Amino acid sequence: MAVNSELRTFKNAAWLGWQMEANWTDPFLFAIYSVVKPLAGTLILVFMYLVITHGETETMFFSYMYVGNAMYMFVADVLFGVTWVIHDDREHYMTLKQVYIAPIKFETYIFGRAAIKIAITSFGVLLTLLFGVFVLGVDIDLAAVNWPLLVVALILGLATLAIMGLALGGVTFLTAKHAMGINEGVAGIFYVLSGVIFPITILPGWAQSISKFLPVTYWMEGVRRGLEPGVITALGSTTGLQGFSDLQLLLVLVVTAVAFLFISLGIFRYADKVARRKGKIDWTSAY
């Protein structure tokens, strides 16, 4: 019974998330939007690279950077998506309180909304990777892909992101409309410190120490090893995580996912309690 209820909440939240993301326009325009947005973000980096290398993209580093940037869309969109749900529902549509007092687990509702974000972003990521491979010569050889590693790393990483999103969602309960700053900030920290577009070895020593505590760092490495093992081998010790075997990498991801589950739930529940005490569940802070 309880499981059915959770599944139903999850499913309905995902459905709502899809409506919010997609029903503002007709399917054709939505498709264009879904293509242009991820590509434009990626092309900024591509042009930055082209300026310096004078047009050369078929290099190991370019593939490293490109894949990392494509995968990073999950980080930004999931973290943004979860904090946005709370902000949007509370401040703009003023429906948060109705969902909140319903006999459902609010965390499940959040996960449902995050799930649809992941699904939509997957399309953008896939498109970006295809563009990279066929137009820019990014080195991804399907025959060489380590599918088990890729799939497991992907699932663990996405789960961890959704869980971290929950903690951020809790913090959003307590902050004013600058909620977007929170997701921008946390996503930005990962962007700089997790080896998304450059190896962590380029960072100062103290920053590298922080990088090694961030789950996204291991996730990036795991996904790259799965998707472009040749690139990672070629870059060797540059990535900074060469000392970890595939299994160790996955183990780190599992441990961090579990650790973040407890941390995030703790943060969320604490923030929830404080928000209820201070009457912030249904406040508005727009100006």
Partner 1 sequence: MEPAVETESLTRVFNPKKKKEGKSVTALDSVDLRIERGELFGLLGPNGAGKTTLLKILSTLLLPTSGKAYVAGFDVAKDFQEVRKRINMVSGGEISGYGLLTVRENLWMFTQFYGMKSAVAFKQIDSMLELFGMADKKNEKVRTLSTGMRQKMNVIRGFVTDPDILFLDEPTLGLDVNASRVIRDYIVEWVEKRPDKTVLLTTHYMAEADQLCDRIAIIDDGKILACDEPDTLKKLVRTSTMLKIDVTLLNNKSVLGNIPGVEKFTYTDDPASNLTSLKFVLQDESAVSDIVSEIVHSGAKILALRKTEPTLEDVFIKMVGKGFE
Partner 2 sequence: MTETWLLRNMRAVRGRAYPRIIGSTREPSWVFFDVVLPLLTVSAYAYIYKFMKAPEEFVGFVILGGAMTAFWLNILWSMASQLYWEKEIGNLSLYLMAPISRMSILAGMAVGGLFETTLRATSTLVIGIVVFGIALSLSSPVMLIVVFVVTMISLYGMGMMFASLYLLFGREAYHMSNLMTEPIYLASGFYFPVRTLGFWAAAGSSIIPITLGLDALRQLFYPASVAEYGFLPIGTETLILAVLCVVFIMLSKLSLDYMEKLGKTSGRLTLRWQ
Instruction: Return residues touching partner 1 (CB under 8 A).
Output: 94, 176, 283-287
Give the span between the Cα atoms of 97 and 99, in whole angstroms. 5
Instruction: Among 7, 8, 15, 24, indicate the residue that binds partner 2 (CB under 8 A).
Output: 24
Positions in 39-68 near partner 2 (CB under 8 A): 40-41, 43-45, 47-53, 61, 65
**Closer residue to partner 2, CB minimum distance, 152 or 216:** 216
Q: What angle do CA 70, 64, 134 make, to 5 degrees?
A: 65
| 285 binds partner 2, rule: CB under 8 A | yes
The item of partner 2, partner 1, none sharing an interface with residue 283, based on CB under 5 to 8 Å by kind, is: partner 1
The item of partner 1, partner 2, none sharing an interface with residue 33, based on CB under 5 to 8 Å by kind, is: partner 2
Positions in 160-179 near partner 2 (CB under 8 A): 175-178
Q: Kindly state the smallest distance separating residue 179's Cβ from partner 1, in Å.
A: 15
By C-alpha distance, which of 262, 263, 257, 3 is closest to 152? 257
Task: Work out whether the CA dihedral 152, 217, 117, 2 comes out positive or negative.
Answer: positive
**Closer residue to partner 1, CB minimum distance, 53 or 284:** 284
Identify the residue whose tokens are 């459905």: 15
**Closer residue to partner 1, CB minimum distance, 237 or 285:** 285
**Closer residue to partner 2, CB minimum distance, 22 or 254:** 22
| 282 binds partner 2, rule: CB under 8 A | no
- Which spans in the chain are helix H? 2-22, 27-53, 60-87, 96-101, 106-135, 147-174, 179-193, 205-211, 215-227, 229-235, 246-278
- For residue 43 the two structure tokens come to 């092309």
